Amino acid sequence: MKKYLLSPGPTPVPEECLAKMAEPIIHHRTPAYVEMNKLAMEKMKKVFYTDGDVLIFVSSGTGAMEGAVVNTIDKNDKAIVVRSGKFGERWGELVETYGGVPLYIDLEWGKKLEPKLIADLLDKNPDTKAVFTTLTETSTGIVYPIKEIGEIVSGTDALLIVDAISGLGGQEFYMDDWKVDITVSGSQKGLMLPPGQAYAAVNEKAWKIIKQKSRACYYFNWAKYLKGQVGAGKDPFTGAVSHTKALLKALEIIEKDTMESRFQRYKVLAKACRAAVNAIGLELFAEVPCDVVTAVKVPEGIDGKLLVKKLRDEYGVTIAGGQAHVAGKIFRIAHMGYIERFDIIIIISALEMVLAELGYEFRMGNGVAAAQKILAEEYI
Ligand SMILES: *Cc1c(COP(=O)(O)O)cnc(C)c1O
C-alpha cells in the first residue's frame, strides 16, 4: 500500500534531501563541513527573517526549547507562559524544571489569545524575565498574534521567546520585524527534513541576558555554541552532518521558491482544507486557524481514534488525532513542509471514504469538490 504522511511532524522529505541524507559521512572537523555549517546558519537567517545568530543543535525541537529556557531563566526568575495547548504546557514544564516561576496565561484549548493579557501581567510583574509562547500551537491548530505580543514585550526588559517548531517556513513570521528575541524550531516539520536537528535564532537583547545567566546545563549551554559554532562553523560537539547536507538542499529549494510564495501557498492549502471539512459538515477546532495544520472536531457519534487508525492502516494516510483531553475529539491534518495541492485532495478523499464507512451522513465528494475549487482558483 502506498503511504501518505500528512501528520504535523514528522513530514515528508523531498527526494533531493533524502539523497543528501544517503551521501557518505564526512568528518565534522573538516573544512568542507565547517563551510557547509556556516552557509546553513547564514541561510537559516533568511528563513527566520533575522539578522541575529542562528544555532544548530543535534536534537529534536524540544532540545532547542530546553536550551531557550535554561539559558535565560535562573532559579526564581519569573516567566510568563501562554498555556493553551500541549506545547505551551511544555514551556511551563521546562520553566518549572529549572526552578523558574511560571506566570501562566491559561486559555481553553483552541481559544484565541488577547495580547492584552500579556500586557496586564507584565505591568503587574515588571521583574518578568521572559514571555514564552508559540507561533502555531500544533495541538490545537491555532496561530497566536506574535506581532502584537512583540509590540508589548519589546517595550520591557523581558525577552520574547517563540516556539516556531511547526510554524517556521510555512506560517508568516518575521522575527526581527515582530521584535522576537529568541525563536526555536526543528527539522521535521516545515523545513522538510527528517527528525533530528533543532535550531534557535537569537538576537542581541537575548545574548546580553544569556551571558549573565548561570546556565545549569552542559550540552545546551548556548555560550559554547556562540563561541564555536556562530561565525566559525565549529560545532561544540559532533554535528548532524547528514542533516546539515540535507538542510542546505532544503534551503536551496526554499530560496528558489521564495519564502513569500511559500507563505502564500500554505494559506491556500489551509483554506482548501478548511473549505473541504466545512463542506463535509465538520467544524474547525481553533478560533484562529493557522496555515500549517487544520484541527477538526470529530462529529457526534463517530469514534475519532478509530477514524485516524483506519485512515492509517486501511487507506495508508497518516494524520494526527488529538492529544491529552482532546484525544478522540479532534483530528489534525497537516499541510506543512513538502505538501502540495494533490496531497490535500488525497487526505480529503480518504477522509470522506472513512467517514462514510463509519456511518457519518453527508454527500460523498462535497469535500473534495470544495478543496478542488479553491486549489483550481487560488493555488500558486
Ligand atoms: C513538534 C512540536 C514540538 C516538539 O518538537 P520535537 O521535535 O518533537 O521535540 C514543540 N512545539 C511545537 C509547536 C511542535 O509542533
pLDDT digits (tens, 9 = 90+) for 130-168: 999 999 999 999 999 999 999 999 999 999 999 999 999
* Residue list, ligand 1 pocket, CB within 6 Å: 8-9, 60-62, 87, 134, 138, 163, 165-166, 186
pLDDT digits (tens, 9 = 90+) for 76-128: 999 999 999 999 999 999 999 999 999 999 999 999 999 999 999 999 999 99
pLDDT above 80: residue 216: no
Q: Give me the long-range contacts of 311-318 (CB less than 8 A, separation at least 24).
A: 311/350, 311/351, 311/354, 314/354, 315/350, 315/353, 315/354, 316/1, 316/2, 316/3, 316/4, 317/3, 317/4, 317/6, 317/346, 317/347, 317/350, 318/3, 318/4, 318/5, 318/6, 318/7
Q: How far apart are the first and last CA of the chain?
A: 30
pTM assigned to the model: 0.98
Q: Indicate the average pLDDT of the chain.
A: 97
Residue 180: band (very low, low, confident or very high) from pLDDT cuts 50, 70, 90? very high
pLDDT digits (tens, 9 = 90+) for 328-351: 999 999 999 999 999 999 999 999
pLDDT digits (tens, 9 = 90+) for 31-51: 999 999 999 999 999 999 999
Q: Considering only CA atoms, which of 337, 363, 346 is closest in space to residue 273?
A: 346
* Residue-level pLDDT at 214: 75
Alpha helices in the chain, H assignment, sequence order: 15-21, 31-48, 61-70, 86-97, 115-124, 146-153, 204-212, 222-228, 241-257, 259-279, 304-315, 341-357, 366-378
CA of 138 to the centre of ligand 1 (A): 8
| 218 CB neighbour count, 10 Å cutoff | 9
CA of 342 to the centre of ligand 1 (A): 26
* Residue-level pLDDT at 339: 98
Atom of ligand 1 nearest to the CA of 65: 10
Ramachandran angles phi, psi of 362, nearest 5°: -170, 175
Mean pLDDT within 52-57 = 98
Q: Quote the cell numbers at residue 135.
A: 507561533
Crossing angle of helices 366-378 and 259-279, in 10° steps, is: 150
As separate numbers, helices (DSSP H) first and strands (DSSP E) second, the chain gives 13, 14
C-alpha–C-alpha distance, residues 361 and 281, integer Å:
9
Query: In sequence order, which residues have a C-beta less than 8 Å from that of residue 208 and are 6 or more positions away?
Result: none
C-alpha–C-alpha distance, residues 229 and 219, integer Å:
13
Determine how β-strand 293-297 pairs with β-strand 330-334.
antiparallel
pLDDT above 80: residue 190: yes
* Residue-level pLDDT at 71: 97
| 42 CB neighbour count, 10 Å cutoff | 13
Question: What domains can you pick out in the chain, each with its CATH number?
Answer: 4-8+259-378 (3.90.1150.10), 15-256 (3.40.640.10)
Atom of ligand 1 nearest to the CA of 188: 7
* Residue-level pLDDT at 215: 76
Atom of ligand 1 nearest to the CA of 195: 7
* Residue-level pLDDT at 63: 98
pLDDT digits (tens, 9 = 90+) for 193-211: 999 999 999 999 999 999 9
CA of 183 to the centre of ligand 1 (A): 13
| Residues 228 and 235 sit within 8 Å (Cβ to Cβ) | yes
pLDDT above 80: residue 361: yes
* Residue-level pLDDT at 336: 98
CA of 284 to the centre of ligand 1 (A): 21
